[in-house]
Amino acid sequence: MTHGPRYTALVDRLPASVPFVGPETAERERGRPFKARIGANESVFGPSPKAIEAMSREASETWKYGDSLSYDLRMALADRLGVGAGNIIVGEGIDGLLGYLVRLVVGEGDKVVTSFGAYPTFNYHVTGFGGELVTVPYRDDHEDPEALIAKAGEVGAKLVYIANPDNPMGTWHDAATIQRMIDAVPDGTLLVLDEAYLEFAPEGAAPAIDPDDARVIRMRTFSKAYGMAGARVGYAIGAEPLITAFNKIRNHFGMARISQAGALAALHDDAWLAQVQGKVSAARDRLAETARENGLTSLPSATNFVAIDCGADGDFARRVLAELVARDIFVRMPFAAPEDRCIRVSVGHPEDMDAFAEALPQALAAARA
Amino acid sequence: MTHGPRYTALVDRLPASVPFVGPETAERERGRPFKARIGANESVFGPSPKAIEAMSREASETWKYGDSLSYDLRMALADRLGVGAGNIIVGEGIDGLLGYLVRLVVGEGDKVVTSFGAYPTFNYHVTGFGGELVTVPYRDDHEDPEALIAKAGEVGAKLVYIANPDNPMGTWHDAATIQRMIDAVPDGTLLVLDEAYLEFAPEGAAPAIDPDDARVIRMRTFSKAYGMAGARVGYAIGAEPLITAFNKIRNHFGMARISQAGALAALHDDAWLAQVQGKVSAARDRLAETARENGLTSLPSATNFVAIDCGADGDFARRVLAELVARDIFVRMPFAAPEDRCIRVSVGHPEDMDAFAEALPQALAAARA
């Protein structure tokens, strides 16, 4: 008697893992809210007022399904990027697009290369479709393009992943380094270049887009610099055959209508983006200063967060993190050694940064006790 | 030289099929907008004003990821339905949840039973994960519970699908019939009971929910009666082990924050729902009357659309449909014979119904010419 579902063998094997515990979940478990929400690399500076207005306006139109082709948004992005609309797919955040991409290429036992300690949600999808993760270590807190490419060739990887700028370390490579990586992608491998944090990086971190280059797919998002994490709008840029392949499997009517409208308005508000970039840069400096004041070092960052080296091992950093959380500061940290000697602090409003500056010395003292 | 991605064998086999062409796509292709948007079973009556207000308010909070557990919404639904929160999973519309469900249980070559001509997006997911569709015919324009169950047993299906009320015909079965179906589900098969249109059905169309019954998973949505198709909020009700299994594969942060807030507010506005139900009922009567005035019959409907029998074969109905579209009336029709003798018209505002009433005799005359 087997009443109920018979899962696939793969699903039976999968753990009930969750890539991240959300701040709301943590708040419910703690029984009280956080004072500073600076752990998920969200943008406290929020979306453009024009995006907010567009979303509010679209609320009453929510009875209509969203445009299944995200046509207006794709056209605007194509125009902005100098590629064809056929080179762009819009999806439910980079997380959603990574899921589709992995499903397109990764079957049971297929190898996928990434850095040990890099973005866990990508790993979640790879494992979820039966792929086998092969990792290379970070080198000096940077992802290691040469090692990633070499490993991809060695194991015949179907995908090799790099985030530039990197999450969780905030470090980055220049365009020439990434272009060399693209040029060295082994036959039969696709490079997944996650550029979620690109808008926070210095000029010259992204190689020029060649829309016909079948060796790389680039992922970008409205979740970070555009301040719309809750809207779930990401996009991928790639060669047309690959972009078209998403249509074989994606949830065609999966994009929320309000989100499409918001992203379109956000894309056109360059002044807001520039203002956010300025605030992020200032807040990064403030975080580095706070680290220094506490006798700690921080890593140069091309993102909206800063990795602060707590100066000891992962166990110590985890204690610091727990003490910060106990003081109502929501932060996160890298999962893997040796990067887990750091905590990862998202930038915030001056009052968020004040709260962190107040809590950090207490947390360090408690962690040392 | 195989520069670029190597797709899975399954993906290589899949057609670039799209379950539905969206109305925006059709408008772009036609070069002009529709006068009446009554083809996608959206609710022109819109969401509750309280939901619109909640969504507008949440727009400025969109910088935060949505709660990965949709906790507040799940608690409210659980309370409403008299089940545990662990019996409910919230997802990106029923379409999204069907995709997850199929992925959980359907591997290459696994059999899935549905009615010939039933909901195409379910079929899209089954095919997309390598499943093999086995169909039984409608009987007198109703899905045929006994035949579905018999076929599921015969082929050892992992899933058997029924929508009650049915889309695209609008017909329904009473609770006792559906309960008999649940009780007869073969060992090792899971019944997928799609209740997207339930709020439009007469009392007594849904059997009582037994949250521990592992033989059935029920799907409901905010897209239809709650008027929020563009928000992408569906939910499934089932036994806890099955609901928990979704966590192995779902996009944990995939729910738009504004959509969660809107759905929660919508759920609490019973007066709005009742008003919509009344308007839908009146508009259904109007559509039936329009059919009669044109010498046609229509099917009794427990949904927000009416299947109008054009009185001849599928080719004729397709001509009628094309003539309606040419007159700026967006409607759709069943895909499969003999149900494709009908067109499927969603209810609308009185002015939408007027536009349809004006266009139908012209379309019929043109189709007959």
The predicted-structure confidence for A269-286, as pLDDT tens digits, reads as follows: 999 999 999 999 999 999
Alpha-carbon gap: B189 to the closest alpha carbon of chain A (Å): 6
Whether chain B has a CB inside 8 Å of the CB on A253: the answer is yes
- A105 and B255 within 8 Å at the Cβ level: the answer is no
pLDDT at A1 over 80: no
Phi, psi of B68 (to 5 degrees): -65, -20
Considering only CB atoms, A251 lies closest to which of B92, B106, B244, namely B92
- Give the Cα separation of B106 and B303 in Å (integer): 29
* Bridge partners for A344 per DSSP: A307, A332
Q: Kindly list the residues from chain A whose CB atom is less than 8 angstroms away from the CB atom of residue B183.
A: none
Considering only CB atoms, A4 lies closest to which of B28, B242, B257, namely B242
Q: Kindly list the residues from chain A whose CB atom is less than 8 angstroms away from the CB atom of residue B64.
A: 23, 37, 40, 42, 229-230
Alpha-carbon gap: B168 to the closest alpha carbon of chain A (Å): 17
Mutate to test the interface with B, among A29, A52, A64 (most CBs of B within 10 A): A64
- Name the architecture of domain A20-46+271-368: Alpha-Beta Complex (3.90)
Res A119: pLDDT: 96
Res B1: pLDDT: 41
| Closest residue, chain B, to A262 (C-alpha) | B59
- A62 and B106 within 8 Å at the Cβ level: the answer is no
- Cβ pair A88, A77 in contact under 8 A: yes
Whether chain A has a CB inside 8 Å of the CB on B178: the answer is no
Q: Among A254, A196, A202, which Cα is nearest to A225's?
A: A196
Angle CA(B16)–CA(A249)–CA(B163) in degrees, nearest 5? 105
Q: Kindly list the residues from chain A whose CB atom is less than 8 angstroms away from the CB atom of residue B223.
A: 65
- Give the Cα separation of A311 and A332 in Å (integer): 16
- Give the Cα separation of B230 and B93 in Å (integer): 9
- B232 and A248 within 8 Å at the Cβ level: the answer is no
Q: Kindly list the residues from chain B whose CB atom is less than 8 angstroms away from the CB atom of residue A251.
A: 92-93, 95-96, 99
Res A3: pLDDT: 67
pLDDT at A247 over 70: yes
Mutate to test the interface with A, among B62, B94, B102, B160 (most CBs of A within 10 A): B62
Q: Among B335, B357, B337, which Cα is nearest to B347's?
A: B357
Question: To which H or E segment does residue A57 belong?
Answer: helix A49-58
Mark the ranges of chain B whose per-residue pLDDT is less than 70.
1-3
A-B contacts at Cβ under 8 angstroms? 296
Res A217: pLDDT: 98
Res B3: pLDDT: 67
What does pLDDT average to over chain B? Answer: 97
DSSP for B91-160? ESHHHHHHHHHHHHH--TT-EEEEETTS-HHHHHHHHHTT-EEEEE--BTTB--HHHHHHHHHHHT-SEE
Q: Which one-letter amino acid corresponds to residue B106? A: V
Considering only CB atoms, A107 lies closest to which of B8, B18, B158, namely B8
Considering only CB atoms, B105 lies closest to which of A6, A24, A262, namely A6
Q: Kindly list the residues from chain A whose CB atom is less than 8 angstroms away from the CB atom of residue B4.
A: 190, 214-215, 239, 241-242
| Class of the domain covering A50-268 | alpha beta
- B258 and A105 within 8 Å at the Cβ level: the answer is no
Considering only CB atoms, B4 lies closest to which of A16, A51, A214, namely A214
- Give the Cα separation of A331 and A290 in Å (integer): 15
- B68 and A22 within 8 Å at the Cβ level: the answer is yes
- B5 and A254 within 8 Å at the Cβ level: the answer is no
Cα distances from A53 to residues A47, A58, A262, B59, in angstroms, run 10, 9, 8, 8
pLDDT at A18 over 80: no
- Cβ pair A81, A235 in contact under 8 A: no
- C-alpha torsion sign, points B249, B251, B253, B257: negative
- B245 and A11 within 8 Å at the Cβ level: the answer is yes
Considering only CB atoms, B67 lies closest to which of A22, A59, A128, namely A22
- Cβ pair B273, B227 in contact under 8 A: no
For chain B, domain boundaries: 21-46+271-368, 50-268
Res B54: pLDDT: 98
Whether chain B has a CB inside 8 Å of the CB on A82: the answer is no
- Give the Cα separation of A273 and A281 in Å (integer): 12
Q: Kindly list the residues from chain B whose CB atom is less than 8 angstroms away from the CB atom of residue A185.
A: 3
Mutate to test the interface with A, among B61, B232, B332 (most CBs of A within 10 A): B232
Question: To which H or E segment does residue B353 belong?
Answer: helix B350-368
**A216-221/A190-194 β-pairing:** parallel
Whether chain A has a CB inside 8 Å of the CB on B351: the answer is no
Q: Kindly list the residues from chain A whose CB atom is less than 8 angstroms away from the CB atom of residue B106.
A: 8
| Closest residue, chain B, to A69 (C-alpha) | B25
Name the fold adopted by B21-46+271-368.
Answer: Aspartate Aminotransferase, domain 1 (3.90.1150)
Alpha-carbon gap: A26 to the closest alpha carbon of chain B (Å): 10
Whether chain A has a CB inside 8 Å of the CB on B183: the answer is no
Whether chain A has a CB inside 8 Å of the CB on B63: the answer is yes
Which positions 276-315 of B are in contact with A (Cβ < 8 Å)?
Answer: none
Res A19: pLDDT: 74
Whether chain B has a CB inside 8 Å of the CB on A7: the answer is yes
Alpha-carbon gap: B44 to the closest alpha carbon of chain A (Å): 6
pLDDT in tens, A76-111: 999 999 999 999 999 999 999 999 999 999 999 999
Q: Among B131, B110, B197, which Cα is nearest to B162's?
A: B197
Considering only CB atoms, B8 lies closest to which of A2, A95, A105, namely A105
Q: Kindly list the residues from chain B whose CB atom is less than 8 angstroms away from the CB atom of residue A51.
A: 59, 62
Whether chain A has a CB inside 8 Å of the CB on B74: the answer is no
What is the crossing angle of helices A71-81 and B23-30, to 10°? 70
Mutate to test the interface with A, among B30, B159, B258 (most CBs of A within 10 A): B258
CB atoms closer than 10 angstroms to residue B313: 12
| Closest residue, chain A, to B65 (C-alpha) | A230
Whether chain B has a CB inside 8 Å of the CB on A47: the answer is yes
